[in-house]
Amino acid sequence: MDPRDMQGKLVRDRIPQIIREDGGDPITYIASPAEYRSRLRDKLGEEVIEFLEADEVSALEELADVLEVVRALAAEFGVDAERLEQIRAAKACERGGFAERIVWTGNR
């Protein structure tokens, strides 16, 4: 059976250990590189939805989860957090950031 057919979801590295410490017996496997990349993309979508649905109290926790997945995806592309920040900063220098809260509604 193809492991992708088993459903499941990508979890943080310590989750199986935490489940065992709580008396559970987790069923896990290690994803292939292609499956890992695909599941990271799925996880990013999941975490973004959780952030969008979060209240003010949990929003930062959810945003940190988004950042964790973004960093893992960057690593999959051979880029560390420092290089990702350099890419972000260069784009911000070229096109700006979002600090001025500008909303574009089209052209005349």
Tell me the C-alpha distance between 35 and 93, whole Å: 35
Number of domains in the chain: 1
What share of the chain in percent tops pLDDT 70?
A: 94
pLDDT digit string (tens) for 2-50?
454 568 999 999 999 999 999 999 999 999 999 999 999 999 999 999 9
- pLDDT, residue 3, reads 52
Is residue 80 within 8 Å of 74, Cβ to Cβ?
yes
Range of the domain at 86: 3-95
CATH number of the CATH domain containing 86: 1.10.287
Decide: pTM greater than 0.75: yes
Answer yes or no: is 83 within a domain.
yes
